[in-house]
Amino acid sequence: MESISIKDLIDCIRTYNEEEIDYIMKAYDLANELHKNQVRQSGEPYIIHPLSVALILAEMRADRDTICAALLHDVIEDTDIKKEEIAELFNHNVANLVDGVTKISKLNFSTKQEQNLANTRKIITSITEDVRIIIIKLADRLHNMRTLEFKSEFKQKENALETMEIFVPLAYYIGAYRVKSELEDLSLKYLKSDMYKKIEEKQKTIKTDSQECMQEMLYKIKSMLENKNIPNEIKVRTKNIYGIYKRLNDGHKLSDIHDLLALKIMVDDVDSCYRTLGMIHEEYHPINDKFKDYICNPKTNMYRSLHTTVFGPDDRLVQTQIRTFDMDNIASFGLTAYWDVNKGKARDTMQNDLKEKFQFFKSLTEINSMFGDNQQFVSQVKNELFSDKVYVYTTKGDIIELPKGSTPIDFAYKIHTDIGNTMVASIVNDEYVPLDYILKNKDRVRIITDDLSFGPRSDWEEKAQTAYAKRKIKEFNKR
């Protein structure tokens, strides 16, 4: 792996934030001085790590304070400097970010496990204070995973497992798909190396075999769009190794995976997205049940795009993803794309959108307020937020995200406490179902309420999956 230098970082920042370079250099000089006698397990100077983390963030066009905090992210933990000194030298923002990514000292705990649980909680809940803490943490983890070969086999597996359990779901929730895919692949490489190599070979073969077919489609679609004066950019994408592994692991054959190959088509506006879709369907036969409109119905992490799987040349199935350039930016980088889109106001917009638009944010806040015990908190987050999901529809067509195993009780409380408290029956896909019915993907759910009902029965608490529903049922029954 090539070692990077401060010049690489500054060259990258120069492309979007030249006026802040002196301030960032001050953070680099301090970090370089504080880490000067430290080396990584690879034998290279320690400063290479914070530099690499800062560069990952600069490639996302991160703001000044985030870059400074990335350069300084290990100084409180590994050197003698205090948070207050960082605040004096830079500002409170930088100090809070550095403090946010710093592990809680082991002096506060009697066991290693207690320390780990407290730190896991600190990372997860930091998103409610400032989402940039999570973003720095994700960049930090990404660089650590990229250089994991220098650790012992036990450490490699431990880190890879923690990455899959904690960091991959966090990357998914903030919509940072690029980081998520790379973290998944790197984790699989250390957890199941034989499987990883096998799938990597298959992936290469698929790329080589399908090159002609993909190029032919790319040129054809490009010329159709250009004939209609629709500005566009088209890229070829192959499913990531972990994505293929997961599908094979679920019992699918390679030939069943309809999105192994994809063409990503970017256009200027929503109207052009639908026009492009029409043209593609005129040229290539679509598979009806593989069409998804995430523009009208965005995913719960704000991902928007049209997906259609068509029969391409040589009888190959090819997924085409059609979206605007802005949607593509958000699809790749999630909330971190705001740095580019909302210059200067990015942090406030990120935080605000998290509160208003992201369903998991409310659930996380709820779980945090319910569990004082770190072990219970972490286990509830893993079960409710970081495990498999089901996505169901309200009668208006809104998508509601719930943990797998959820019932109409969870759905009702997710919509509104009063709906849960006055629920008397539930209808799924136009049929009455018992309240402990397990919801499935794409179910359409309608809750029947009655203001004169006796309220939730105490046995509902057992039937509910989500922390919020359980708490509301308990509170009602105490009254």
Tell me the per-residue pLDDT of 342-372, one tens digit each, with 9 for 90 and over.
777 899 999 999 999 898 999 999 999 999 9
pTM for the model stands at 0.91
* Residues labelled as active-site residues: 77-78
Answer yes or no: is 36 within a domain. yes
Together in a domain, 134 and 169: yes
Rounded CA gap, 125 and 364, in Å?
A: 8
Show which of 148, 166, 192 is a domain's final residue. 192
pLDDT tens by residue, 314-334? 888 999 999 999 999 999 899
Q: What CATH number does the domain containing 88 carry?
A: 1.10.3210.10
Regarding whether 187 and 223 lie in a shared domain, the answer is no
* Residue 347 located in a structural domain: no
Q: Does residue 40 sit within a domain? A: yes
Q: Are 204 and 178 in a shared domain?
A: no
Verify that 280 and 319 share a domain, yes or no: yes
Q: List the domain range (segments joined by +) for residue 464.
A: 388-478
Q: Are residues 210 and 312 in the same domain?
A: yes
CB atoms inside a 10 Å sphere around CB 192: 16
Cite the DSSP H helix spans in 323-429: 325-333, 338-341, 346-357, 359-370, 374-384, 408-415, 417-421
- Quick one: 131 and 29 in the same domain? yes
How many residues would you count in the chain? 479
Confidence of residue 257 (pLDDT cuts 50, 70, 90): confident
pLDDT, position 254 = 86
Average pLDDT over residues 255-265: 89
For position 248, what pLDDT does the model report?
93
Domain C-terminal end among 192, 214, 242: 192
Indicate whether 254 and 329 sit together in one domain: yes
Say what the pLDDT of residue 294 is: 95
Find out whether 408 and 448 touch, Cβ atoms under 8 Å.
no
Torsion angle in degrees (nearest 10) through CA of 105, 109, 111, 114? -90
Report the percent of the chain where pLDDT is more than 70. 100
341 CB burial (10 A radius; 0-12, 13-18, 19+)? middle
The verdict on residue 229 lying in a domain is yes
pLDDT in tens, 424-449: 999 999 999 999 999 999 999 999 99
> How much is the mean pLDDT over the chain?
94
Q: Give how many domains the chain has, as a whole number.
A: 3
Q: What is the pLDDT of residue 1?
A: 53
Segment 66-91, tens digit of pLDDT = 999 999 999 999 999 999 999 999 99
Tell me what the mean pLDDT of segment 213-228 comes to.
96
Identify the pLDDT of residue 2: 62
Rounded mean pLDDT, 463-474:
95
The fraction of the chain above a pLDDT of 90, given in percent, is: 86
